[in-house]
Amino acid sequence: MAIYPIILTQTKFMHHDHLKYPFEERGLQFGDGIYEVIRIYQGEYYLFEEHVDRLYRSAEAIKLTLPFSKEELKDLLLELINRNKMKKDGKLYLQATRGSAPRDHIFPKDVLPNIYGYIQELPRNVNHLNNGVKAITERDTRWENCYIKSLNLLPNVLAKQEASENGCYEAILHKDGKVTECSSSNVYLVKNGKIFTHPATNNILHGCVRMAVERFAKDLNIDFIEDAFSLEEIANADELFLSSSTSEILPIIQVDKTIISDGKPGKVTRMLQAAYEQDAKLAKQRLEY
C-alpha cells in the first residue's frame, strides 16, 4: 500500500520521512488522543463533513481543544489531497493527541496537541464486496465509551487478530449475548426485509458509513431498526452485513460455523451496496470548497 509523501502536521506540510515525535508523547504513553479514517474515491473525500464533525465530538468528549476550526481543518485536508496530487482510491488517517510533556496522568498545561494526517492508496476489495466475508464471535471487552474514536484500541486489535488467525475477516463482538458491533466496523442483521442493528449508544462507535446506511435504508423504504440482536438470532438471519469507511458495505456469509442463509450476499445488502456506489460518485458535488 503506497503512502503519499506529503503529510499534514499541525498546520504545516512536510515529507513523511521528516515527521518525528518526542519520546514523551501522550498518545504513545496513554492512548490520550483521537483519530479519524476518511475514505477517498478518485481523489475526493467521502462523507467528509460527517468525519470532521465526529472528530470534533471525540475531541470534546476527551476535553481536547483542537487549534483550528472545522472549516480551517477541512481546508487543510483538501490542501493535503492537492499537494499529494491524489487522484486514486485511498484513505486519510488523521490523529490528534494531547501533546508531548513529562509523563503524568493529569493533563499537562500550556501544551499544544500533536496532530498529523497522511494519505494512503487503498484499492477496493472487489472479491469481498462481491462474495462476502466470514466472521467469528468474540466477547466485547472494551470500555463503555466506544462512541469516542480514541486511540485505545487494544481489545479491538486482539479481536481482529483472533479473527485473522481463524481465517476470518472480522470479529463480531457481544455483551451478555447481545451483538454490539465488530472489531473495526458496525454490523447489521436483516430479517423479513428489515435491518436491525445496535442503537447508537456509548457502547458502539457511531460510524459515518452507519449513518449513510440509515439514510440509504430510508430512501429505499427499508425499515432501519435500532434494536440489538442476539447471537442466537444470527443463525436464522436472512442476511448479515458490516460497514466501515475502509470496508464499505460487506456481506457476511458465515459466522463461526454457521452459514448465513444460502451463503451468498442477500438482496437488501446488494441494494445498499448499489446506493453506496451512487452516493460515493456524488461525493465531489457535496463538498463545500
Taking alpha carbons only, the member of 120, 108, 52 closest to residue 80 is 120
Q: What is the mean pLDDT of the chain?
A: 96
Query: In this predicted model, what pLDDT tens digit does every residue of 191-200 receive, in sequence order?
Result: 999 999 999 9
Contact assessment for residue 276 and residue 230, using Cβ atoms and an 8 Å cutoff? no
160 is catalytic: no
Query: In this predicted model, what pLDDT tens digit does every residue of 227-248 receive, in sequence order?
Result: 999 999 999 999 999 999 999 9
Taking alpha carbons only, the member of 235, 224, 221, 223 closest to residue 179 is 235
| Confidence check: pLDDT of 289 > 60 | no
State the residue for C-alpha cell 444460502. Answer: 262
Query: In this predicted model, what pLDDT tens digit does every residue of 7-63 receive, in sequence order?
Result: 999 989 999 999 888 889 999 999 999 999 999 999 999 999 999 999 999 999 999
Instruction: Please tell me the predicted confidence (pLDDT) of residue 226.
Output: 98
C-alpha cell recorded at residue 235: 443463525
Instruction: Please tell me the predicted confidence (pLDDT) of residue 217.
Output: 98
Query: In this predicted model, what pLDDT tens digit does every residue of 94-115 receive, in sequence order?
Result: 999 999 999 999 999 999 999 9
CB crowding 118-154: b at 16 or more within 10 Å, else e: bbeebeeeeeebeebbbbbbbebebeeebbbbbbbbe
d(C-alpha 195, C-alpha 55), whole Å: 27
List domains and CATH numbers for the chain. Answer: 6-121 (3.30.470.10), 126-281 (3.20.10.10)
Catalytic residue among 74, 91, 149, 160: 149
d(C-alpha 185, C-alpha 217), whole Å: 18
d(C-alpha 147, C-alpha 48), whole Å: 18
Query: In this predicted model, what pLDDT tens digit does every residue of 118-149 receive, in sequence order?
Result: 999 999 999 999 999 999 999 999 999 999 99
Instruction: Please tell me the predicted confidence (pLDDT) of residue 285.
Output: 63
| Confidence check: pLDDT of 288 > 80 | no
